């Protein structure tokens, strides 16, 4: 064995770079919260209390994430994780409680096209905020 190898120190694992995001991406949590308002009204009129509570939690978490992103706070990662957890749970609950046929298809489309991509985007935004990068500095 070479003495060079014996004296070598292990290099610390580097964190992967934060993903590149478009300039409009930080506005998505606020827009998603705004888009939830009419849906909350529909759920409230239909007396869907459990779904109203879940969507109010999502609305609150999205606004919390938006506020932290606007400040450039590293704590945005925590809010992003909460949003992602709520959205993934919502998608799972929608799919699990949907009836067969069209309701199940609608739940799968909503999960695959809205809830899970939004969760992933929020996590990317939170990760970028935690790494100290702003939208304009990339």
Mean pLDDT by groups of 10 residues along the chain of 138 residues: 56 62 95 96 94 97 98 96 98 96 97 98 96 59
69 to each of 42, 73, 77, how far by Cα in Å? 29, 6, 9
Cα–Cα dist 99/103, whole Å: 6
C-beta of residue 29 within 8 angstroms of C-beta of residue 83: yes
Check residue 20 and give its pLDDT: 83
Other beta carbons within 10 angstroms of residue 41's beta carbon come to 11
Q: pTM of this prediction?
A: 0.81
From the DSSP assignment, how many helices (H) and strands (E) are in the chain? 6, 0
- Vertex 37 angle, CA 35 and 40, to 5°: 120
What is the per-residue pLDDT for 138?
44
- pLDDT in the model for residue 27: 97
């Amino acid at each position: 064995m070479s003495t060079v190898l014996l004296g070598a120190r292990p290099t610390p694992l580097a964190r992967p770079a934060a993903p590149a995001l478009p300039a409009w991406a930080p506005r998505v949590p606020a827009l998603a919260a705004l888009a939830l308002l009419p849906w909350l009204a529909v759920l409230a009129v239909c007396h869907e209390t459990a779904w109203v509570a879940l969507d109010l939690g999502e609305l609150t978490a999205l606004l919390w994430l938006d506020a932290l992103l606007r400040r450039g706070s590293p704590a945005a990662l925590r809010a992003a994780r909460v949003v992602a957890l709520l959205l993934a749970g919502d998608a799972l609950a929608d799919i699990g409680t949907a009836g067969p046929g069209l309701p199940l298809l609608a739940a799968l489309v909503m999960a695959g096209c809205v809830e899970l991509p939004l969760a992933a985007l929020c996590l990317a935004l939170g990760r970028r905020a935690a790494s100290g990068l702003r939208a304009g500095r990339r």
